[in-house]
Structure 1
Amino acid sequence: MGTENRQASKAMGDDNAVEYRNINEVPSPTAQNLKKISTLPLIFLIFYEVSGGALGAEDSVGAAGPLLALIGFLVFPLIWSVPEALITAEMGTMFPEDGGYVVWVSSTLGPYWGFQQGWMKWLSGVIDNALYPVLFLDYLESAIPVLGGGFPRVIAVLGLTIVLTFMSYRGLTIVGRVAVLLGVFSLLPFVVMGFVAIPKLKPSRWFVVNLHDVDWNLYLNTLFWNLNYWDSISTLTGEVENPKKTLPKSLFSALILVVVGYFFPLLVGTGAVPLDRELWTDGYFADIAKILGGVWLQWWMLCAAAVSNIGMFLAEMSSDSFQLLGMAELGMLPDFFARRSHHGTPLIGILFSASGVIVLSWLNFQEIIAAENFLYCFGMILEFIAFILLRIKYPAASRPYKIPLGTIGSILMCIPPTILICFVLALSSLKVAIVSLIAVFIGLIMHPSLKYVEKKRWVKFSVSADLPNLHGADHESAESLVPISISAN
């Protein structure tokens, strides 16, 4: 197949065509016989990739007051979440393979920038995942004070990370089922709190605002952190059952679930309890539950918060590890990253991601959020460029789901989130910017270093992922593209 495509590219006179080659290795039988993820588990995996529930949204009220917090969780999804989810649906069905956004960027900007995309998004995901064991223990600290610090805290973080990593190792179908159960359990206490709060609601409290007393950096970072990562599910597309239909449907359903999951609790919390912005920090929803329903509801909320962090850890770990597998299949990482366990999971990718989580889990909470947002913004810029270039250069490419806005409309759709990215980057502290730029620089030199290692044959690299023949797309009248194996050289 590789020889035929090389000849086809030469026949078309494409001197700049990417060099293609095949490998003789047969993929693991486990990878071929895996049970795929169905719609409902996929919805909750996306839910946990993006949100996990309202816990974590409290800082928006503390930073800007009730009115701006409520408006933020209604308007921000239109500016950011909807465009990102739509792009993920179109590109994910166009390239239904593990690796997701790495494949998108590589196919348009080349393997060098595809690697940079993978590095920044993986590092951002690992930084994000480092939060969840810490937050889990923070919620349990009130019941088990010994977890507040010192050696017991260290052991608890390590132990929890190991247990959750083992669950990720056991397979995506198990992770998907767990995500559904945890999702239902973590959403129910907010529903109960809403019913209990009805007699105490005062709508006037929703409209409190003071534009002269707004922490815009904290406000935007909180919204951004709680409503991004829609594209993370794309790195698992190769494990999804009938992704061309399942992925768009699941993204749409998860989008509704996420927005309602934030807005409803904020509406209840700000309307039923007198405002004290200093109290609106992480975990305050549990205090509101106690005020409105009593200790039993508070404990339920704390348990929901704890298990929600477990769900977010499992979803992010799956996304990060399968991204590394996809990069290895593209020849960007050594071949051993593409090897699967007998459960079908990328063992080396899981171990690398878990190691990153342990190393980064000691950072300050707000610094973690700001740093991951900074890196994530750079990655999203590359995604927007890849999306627009694919629309312009390859209009005949097969798109099982296509954003119904036309090329011009799709380009205009990317403008508001791009402006938002500029604001997030501009509001970052100097310390966060320096650390993040150092991380970006490491990625810039890491790719040529790995190519040198490959050239010296110190470590084996292989290419096994089939990609559409974008170079011939403009010459084809057919809607589908010819699969090829694309080299990272």
Structure 2
Amino acid sequence: MVSGGTYGTEDIVHGAGYGRAILILLLTPLLWSLPTAFMIGELSSALPFEGGYYAWVRRAMGNFWGFQEAWLSLVASIFDMAIYPTLFVAYLTRMFPWFAQGHRGVMVGLAVVVVCVLLNIAGVRVVSTTSLWLFFALSAPFALMVVLAPFKYAALLHAVTTPTSSKVDMIGGLLIAMWNYMGWDNASTIAAEVERPQRTYPRAMLVAVAIVALTYIVPVAAVWMTGLAPCAWETGSWAEIASMLGGPLLRVALVLGGMISAFGMFNALVMSYSRLPLAMAQDGMLPRVFAKLHPRTRAPWVAIVVCAMGWAMCLGLGFERLVTIDILLYGSSLALEFVALV
């Protein structure tokens, strides 16, 4: 639940160029992800409680700071969760520009929210099953691009591309990279629903960091070989790059993959974030209604619906703005988690 694949990394190349983008994508997991992953692995295995990082901070620092951790995370989630429907629409409009007009994109994003809410109320099993298949589906187009790129060596050096609207600079690219590598603590909120968390979490964190880094770096390095100018990159431009490398069919696959990635990440994170209000309600920090569970699936349906209303309110703010706000809020909550470890 930390990575939706390579989708969403385009602005890093636009802001930093290929060499520095790859350096950022290489160093960020070492300086940002690994310490967090180790911390999450340690605390998740030692304290596999429902509510995860909220429960850790509350146990280590008391009710006040536990409450602050939960609210910081929930506020961050409002902006974080709006990013995925935004990416969904960004890739959809690469195939159907009609959806970029007026409020159509926002309505599509709202539809994504509603569908994922229904899936999550259907239960954890549905979420985990669909997310696994979505991961394999979204990875396939990039694997094909990596294979095709050497055959286009320097062929796109003078390629004519559509002018981009991205205004991301190097700092913006770094923030986007941090966003692409964040979220390791989200899995902790469902630790009580994971079999053998003491063994599962540490191993999963280490493997995941390596896999995520590779899925980001290898495709960017492959496109670098083609000579395509960094200024041609912006959110959603993987679709155009796929068309240059493999034709319209690969473009369609990339667009579908981008939509699948955004949908899958949103779907998985609904499960994670909805557990925070549940845990807080069980501890008496929120009204008991947030602790209501679906009679058949045991999903916290009230928490899911209320959270979804907040996430939907931020649809349409724009990818770059959402990422910046998200990183600032997430960093504050992450600092409390490290204090809890100490």
Counterpart of 2:135? 183
Q: 1:45-444 counterparts in 2 under 5 A?
A: 49-201=1-153, 215-272=169-226, 274-341=227-294, 342-388=296-342
SS at match of 1:127: helix
C-alpha displacement of 1:73: 1.1
Please tell me whether Structure 1 or Structure 2 has the larger radius of gyration of its CA atoms: 1
Q: Distance in 2 between matches of 1:336 and 1:284?
A: 44
Relative to total residues, which structure has the larger helix share, 1 or 2?
2
The correspondence of residues 439-478 of structure 1 with structure 2, limited to 5 A, is: none
1:331 is displaced (CA, Å) by: 2.3
Shift of 1:299: 0.7
| Counterpart secondary structure, 2:225 | helix
- Structure 1 outlier segments of 4+, above 4 Å: none
> 8 Å contact 1:139–1:306 — kept in the other structure?
yes
CA contact (8 A) 2:87 2:236 kept: no
Q: In 2, distance between residues paired with 1:284 and 1:117?
A: 36
Which is worse superposed, 285-294 or 301-310?
A: 285-294
Q: Which runs of 5+ in 1 are unaligned?
A: 1-48, 206-213, 389-489
The 1:136/1:68 distance shift into structure 2, 3 A limit, reads same
Instruction: String of CA shifts for 1:74-105, please: whole Å, max 9, x gaps.
Output: 11111011110110000011110111111111
Name the amino acid aligned to 1:196.
L
Contact 1:126 1:320 in 2 (8 A): no
Question: CA separation in 2, counterparts of 1:268 and 1:365?
Answer: 25
Aligned letter for 1:298? R
Q: Percent identity?
A: 33
- Asked if structure 1 preserves the Cα contact closer than 8 Å seen for 2:26 and 2:213, the reply is yes
Q: String of CA shifts for 1:393-427, please: whole Å, max 9, x gaps.
A: xxxxxxxxxxxxxxxxxxxxxxxxxxxxxxxxxxx
1-structure distance, mates of 2:94, 2:150: 28
The superposition leaves residues 194-237 of structure 1 with CA deviations (integer Å, 9 ceiling, x where unpaired) of 111122346xx9xxxxxxxx933202211111101111111111
Whether the 8 Å CA contact 1:54–1:262 is kept in 2: the answer is: yes
- Following superposition, the deviation at residue 151 of structure 1 comes to 4.7
Aligned-partner Cα distance in 1 for 2:22–2:105: 35
Number of equivalences? 329
Q: How far is 1:154 from its partner?
A: 4.1
Distance 1:143 1:200 in 2: 24
- Report if the CA contact (8 A) 1:172-1:318 is conserved: yes
Q: Which amino acid aligns with 2:41?
A: A
Note the aligned Cα RMSD (angstroms). Answer: 1.6
Q: 1:71 Cα shift?
A: 1.0
Partners of 1:80 and 1:152 in 2: CA distance: 36
- Displacement, 1:284? 1.6
What CA distance in whole angstroms lies between the structure 1 residues aligned with 2:339 and 2:45? 18
Deviation, 1:139, is 1.3
TM-score w.r.t. the length of structure 2 is 0.92
> Does the residue aligned with 1:225 lie in a helix, a strand or coil?
helix
**d(CA) in 2 for partners of 1:126, 1:265:** 30
Corresponding residue number in structure 2 for 1:28: none
Q: Which amino acid aligns with 1:258?
A: V
Asked if 2 retains the 8 angstrom alpha-carbon contact of 1:340 and 1:347, the reply is: yes
The aligned counterpart of 2:161 is: none
The answer as to whether partners of 2:189 and 2:276 remain within 8 angstroms in 1 is yes
Superposed displacement of residue 160, structure 1: 2.5
Aligned-partner Cα distance in 2 for 1:154–1:369: 17
User: Cα distance 1:113–1:128, how it changes in 2: closer, same or farther (>3 A)?
Assistant: same
Equivalent position of 2:165 in the other structure: none
